[in-house]
Amino acid sequence: MKVFELLNENFILTEFKSIKKEDAINELIDLYKNSDKVIDIEQVRKAVLDREKIMSTGVGKGFAIPHGKTNAVKDILAAFGKSDEPIDYEALDGKPVNLIFLLVGKDNLVSSHIKLLSRISRLMNKDDFRQRLVEAKSAEEILKVFEEEEKEYSDV
């Protein structure tokens, strides 16, 4: 499994409506409101926001990876969004973010969840990759950027 295989154009936002942390996270979660992968969207929201209360998932370099685990999903959920306006995310480096990747896994798929978080972090640590995401104009372009970058990686 690769990160880009978890995404599709329906789960990519090319511009957040909000510049507030919790609202931006909710925008990504809400993309799954009518998904058959979700048993209870409010439990998904609770899992992600509860995890965020422990420590900010704004990891620095303008990037955040809100995530959580819950049995309120049937499969791994992934969504990505970006914003031209900086989002005050309480990131570890104290700077706002403009790229957010949401990952929600099942409680019993801990190993896959950790491997995917690691892969996403590794991808987002690359300055040129982040820049290509910022410059992408459509969900299709964003998906292509992920796919091209992951060509060199093995499956998680």
List, by residue number, the catalytic residues.
67
Backbone angles phi, psi at 103, to 5 degrees: -135, 125
Cβ proximity of 80 and 101 under 8 Å = yes
CA distance 45 to 110: 18
Provide the phi-psi class of 76: left if phi over 0, else alpha when psi is between -120 and 50, else beta: beta
Q: Name every residue whose Cβ is closer than 8 Å to that of residue 52 and which is 6 or more positions away in sequence.
A: 21, 22, 25, 66
**Apex CA 15: angle with CA 2 and CA 63, to 5°?**
55
